[in-house]
Amino acid sequence: MRWEFLMVPAAVIASAPALAGAHYLTLDQAQNILFPGATFTNDFRTLTDEQIDQIVSEIDVKVWNRKVRVWRVSTGGWFIIDQVRGKDDWVSYAVGLDETGAVTGIEILECWEQYNQIRHPAWRDQFTGARHGEFIGTRYGKIRDESKIQSITGTTLSAVHITEGVTRLLATFAVIIAPSEL
């Protein structure tokens, strides 16, 4: 009898990963979608306290991690992997930037399946061409009225946080990548 009682919690625990999130793309798949046929050179960076302060003061978005996972792309441009908070868990996504720091595309690698509306191409396409200093994204935790980015009912937090993340990555590019490339 005791053995059967212990099996119920084990079955519940074993099913937990299915609820944790859906994996949509691997790193290699995202790279191939955003930069078909290119090769990638790891160029990871670590933000200093001064760089974090500069980013935060400029765009008023929290910097969650001082490690920036960025790759140089053989065909030109940059590939960056990032994470933001969704409603219930982290959302992993990739951003492609051209040589000037303009967004060429966004791919969602992992998020809770019930909040996957952020994977819709029409929503992600709103970011194409966005660049630091011109992009109007979020302010105080919500998408700004003058932003061209539309929120998604039922996925509001994920949409806001992806928008914040892109805003932060554009500022990060301007602070740590663009100066070294000029």
Is 15 part of a structural domain of the chain? Answer: no
Comparing 151 with 103, the larger pLDDT belongs to 103
Q: Give tens-digit pLDDT for 14-52.
A: 334 444 567 889 999 999 999 999 999 999 999 999 999
**Shortest CA distance to 148 belongs to which of 169, 165, 129?**
129
Comparing 55 with 118, the larger pLDDT belongs to 55
Is 135 part of a structural domain of the chain? Answer: yes
pTM for the whole structure: 0.81
Q: What's the domain count of the chain?
A: 1
User: Is there a contact between 93 and 100 (Cβ–Cβ < 8 Å)?
Assistant: no
Is 6 part of a structural domain of the chain? Answer: no
Poorest-confidence range of 28-42, 83-97, 153-167?
A: 153-167
Give the 3-state secondary structure of residue 134.
coil
Predicted pLDDT of residue 116: 67
Comparing 136 with 75, the larger pLDDT belongs to 75
Is 170 part of a structural domain of the chain? Answer: yes
Alpha-helical runs (H) found in 60-155 = 121-124
What does the alpha-carbon distance between residue 25 and residue 39 come to, in Å, rounded to a whole number?
18
Domain that holds residue 160: 21-181
Q: Residues, the chain, total?
A: 182
CA within 13 Å, CB half, 69: 11
Kindly report the number of other CB atoms within 10 A of residue 167's CB atom.
26
Is 13 part of a structural domain of the chain? Answer: no
What does the alpha-carbon distance between residue 179 and residue 92 come to, in Å, rounded to a whole number?
27
